[in-house]
Amino acid sequence: MGGTAHRLADLAGLIGGQVEGDPDREVEAIRPLEAAGPRDLSFLNHPRYRAEAVASRAAALLVGRDLAAGLRDGAPARDLLVVAKDADVPLALARLLAVFHAVEPPRPGIHPTAVVEAGCTIDPSAWIGPYAVIGAGATVAARVQVHPHVVLGAGCSVGEGTVLHPHAVLYPGTEVGSGCIVHAGAVLGADGFGYATSGGMHHKVPQVGRVVLERDVEVGAGSTIDRATLGETRIGAGTKIDNLVQIGHNVQTGRHCILCGQSGIAGSTRLGDYVVLAGQAGVSGHIHLGTGVQVAAKSAALHAVEAGQKVAGIPAVELKRWKRQTVLLARLEDMSRRLRALERGASATGGPAGDPEEGGD
């Protein structure tokens, strides 16, 4: 089903690009190469998909300048929406998707079924959806969206333009900065996992700190960020957290970190800026990962990692070293067979055999 038509010339203006072809060509949707039709815009951001781009029925393609040159060589003529570099395509695509799929914000106001306790400050431009609960003394800033069944505990603070999706829970005292997105089922500020063991029993240590999200943080569905024992668990500005991520008490992340699905950070660990944890990566407690560190999928960082390093494995080691170890491990079975053959040959000729630790005469 078609949507609102947009001229390529207008789209180019939005992303700082240029049109090669008909600037008045209109497109109604953005679709993948294989699904696009004659009224659609598609995109190419890697040369491996050139054949699919050539075969696509899309009316026009969003491409970087280098890939555009490749499409002109021996390919059918096609309208192109060209940005300066191939690496610019994802950001340009994001901006265009926001145009084609603009979402009308809810009308400001408080739904009749919402529960708003005493002493709250709610900006008139905010929206409080059905069955949401706003605890005593909470602050909700301008243009905030609180979707159905969200719970804000007492004394929470939510910054301008933040969106809290259904069933998100903010425990008392949690602070969320401006422009954040908290997806469905995320829990911010539950107790950290702290116990004192004595007399054969585990005694709960009260967790009396809080969670702070700085501006432009996104928290994926089902992710959890525990409150500090004392002080703050703090997530740095611009950090993006995938679904099902666990962040322990007293953790401090830098700015613009990427924490992929099912990764986890144990308590009191500190991350520098731009740290990346790939899927199911784990980080031990009370250590520091420097700025720009990248931890590969399913790896376990058990010790501090210096800035800029890429690490992999369990325990995580420098990436190049891990690759060498992986190659050697794959050859281990063959090496074992060869060693046994050498031992048998040595035994047959009267040389030393058996356990190399056993002494001679």
Please confirm whether the linkage preceding 315 is cis (ω < 30° from 0). yes
Q: What is the rounded distance in angstroms from the CA atom of residue 9 to the CA atom of residue 270? A: 47
Q: What is the rounded distance in angstroms from the CA atom of residue 162 to the CA atom of residue 144? A: 5
Neighbours of 184 (CB within 10 A): 16
At 193, which amino acid appears? F
**147 flagged as catalytic:** no
Q: Are 258 and 281 in contact (CB under 8 A)?
A: no
How many residues in the chain?
361
> Is the Cα torsion angle 191, 193, 198, 201 positive or negative in sign?
positive
Q: What is the rounded distance in angstroms from the CA atom of residue 4 to the CA atom of residue 59? A: 15
At 149, which amino acid appears? H
Of the candidates 251, 311, 236, the one whose C-alpha atom is nearest the C-alpha of residue 281 is 311
Q: Are 6 and 24 in contact (CB under 8 A)?
A: no
Neighbours of 231 (CB within 10 A): 14
Radius of gyration of the chain (CA): 28
Q: Are 316 and 294 in contact (CB under 8 A)?
A: no
Neighbours of 154 (CB within 10 A): 16
Q: What is the rounded distance in angstroms from the CA atom of residue 69 to the CA atom of residue 216? A: 36
Question: Active-site residue among 147, 165, 167, 249?
Answer: 249
Residues labelled as active-site residues? 249
